[in-house]
Structure 1
Amino acid sequence: MKNFDKGTVIRTVLLLIALINQSLIMFGMPVLPIEEDQVTSLAETLYLAGSMVFTLVTTLTAWFKNNYVTSKGHLQKETLKQKGLTK
């Protein structure tokens, strides 16, 4: 297995966490086990909105960034490094 870029791994893990969290919320199984009588309507709305923002930000970041996960991508990354075109 080829070495993955640290940024690629971090973005992928965050994206998976966000998608799992959204899936759990959709199926009525929130990550935080809070009883319904402990939560006000506003707090629940803020939690859902924050979760959605987290998912959108991680999805857009993972989509926007170059993630060298395929063999072709690894070759591209190496070529860019050799030409001095990457950080």
Structure 2
Amino acid sequence: MKMDKGTLIRTIVLFIALLNQILVSCGLYKIPGTAEQQTEVLSTLFTLVTSIIAWFKNNYVTAKGKRQKEVLKQQNLTK
């Protein structure tokens, strides 16, 4: 079973946000034209927003979740 498109996109964006947060925290990445404090604030906000979106959406990542999604599909209860 493969991940649906929405889950895959949210997972990739969350990974990028977390990687960005780590780089900014280690001082390895700076957004050009911004002060250091603004870079940290922007990075933290980006990570926070993407984390909330990824958490809020119903992602069928586990084996149990994938089975649930298949049952929902069979019953025509998903988009």
Q: TM-score, normalised by structure 2?
A: 0.85
Which one scores higher on RCO, CA 8 angstroms, separation ≥ 6?
Answer: 1
Q: CA RMSD in A?
A: 1.6
Which ranges in structure 2 are unaligned for 5 or more consecutive residues?
none
Sequence identity, in percent? 53
Q: Using the TM superposition, give the Cα deviation of residue 31 of structure 1 relative to its aligned residue in structure 2, in angstroms.
A: 5.0
- Hey, which bits of structure 1, 4+ residues long, moved more than 3 A? none
Q: How many residues align?
A: 78
- Partner letter of residue 54 of structure 2? A
Q: What residue is the counterpart of 1:77 in the other structure?
A: 69
Q: What residue is the counterpart of 1:56 in the other structure?
A: 48
1:1-87 correspondence runs (5 A): 2-30=1-29, 32=31, 39=33, 43-44=34-35, 45-87=37-79
Are the aligned partners of 1:11 and 1:62 in contact in 2 as well (CA < 8 Å)? yes
Distance 1:31 1:80 in 2: 44
Which ranges in structure 1 are unaligned for 5 or more consecutive residues?
none
1:33-59 CA distance string (max 9 Å, x none): x5xxxx5xxx22433322222111110
